[in-house]
Amino acid sequence: MRDARLDELAENLAAVRAEIPDGVGLVAVSKTWPAADVLRLASLGVTDFGESYAQEAVPKAAQVAEAGVAVRWHHVGQIQRNKARQIAGYADVVQSIDRLDVCTAVARAARRAGRVLDALIQVRFDTDRGRGGCGPGEVEGLAECVDDSVGLTLRGLMTVAPPGVDPAPVFRELAALGASLVAEEYLARPWLSMGMSGDLAAAIREGATHVRVGTALFGSRTPPSG
């Protein structure tokens, strides 16, 4: 039977892939979309998926695993300490470490689960704490916390560009912070997770190693009315 949704996802994926050079990782942000769509994209070769809410991600990851499909899950949403256990249970990569208490809670949960998660520090370059992220001055302390944690492996940095401004300077600042982690010998080659559907090209120009794409792959999260 013809699967119209598979055709749609394949078309969107081809358009997104055309913008991403080899060596830049694509994380398909599947929040609000069902496990069936994750399985469709996995069948098209997508290996990495991102989720924002643990309560949505845990059952979705279980459904994908039950289908016998192995993918890598990235937690990209803000972390409440009381969700650390769920996150450490489903995620392979946690991209949104932004406070010391979050670092220690996720690290402890990972260790208890016998897991080691790849970890990114989320940085914000505006004053709006609403979307999460630490200030640039807090990166060093968080890098030390992640680096010292048995359950976490420090990989690099993540940011979400604030809406309505030119994102390029923000991405450049993240790359500069990545370079300082190299200078301080935390990492040889930091991951820079930056760029979403609306600012993919700018992020790639500024050196993104990973882009997080939702809408451009799956469609608009709010179904059109009428």
Residues 20-49 that bind ligand PLP (CB under 6 A): 29, 31
Q: Residue 213 in 3-state DSSP? A: strand
Residue from 133, 151, 167, 214 binding ligand PLP (CB under 6 A): 214
∠ Cα 160 165 169 (to 5°): 70
Q: 212 - beta bridge partners?
A: 27
Residue-wise over 168-203: b if at least 16 C-beta within 10 A, else e? eebbeebbebbeebeeeebbeebbbbbbbbebbebb
* Residue span binding ligand PLP (CB under 6 A) among the ranges 8-16, 67-75, 80-88, 191-199: 191-199
Q: Does 202 bind ligand PLP (CB under 6 A)?
A: no
Residue from 13, 20, 76, 102 binding ligand PLP (CB under 6 A): 76
Q: Does 204 bind ligand PLP (CB under 6 A)?
A: no
Amino acid at 199: D
Distance CA 199, CA 121 (A): 20
Residue from 74, 75, 124, 212 binding ligand PLP (CB under 6 A): 212
Q: How many residues bind ligand PLP (CB under 6 A)?
A: 14
Give me the 145-184 binding string for ligand PLP, x by CB under 6 A, dash otherwise.
---------------x------------------------
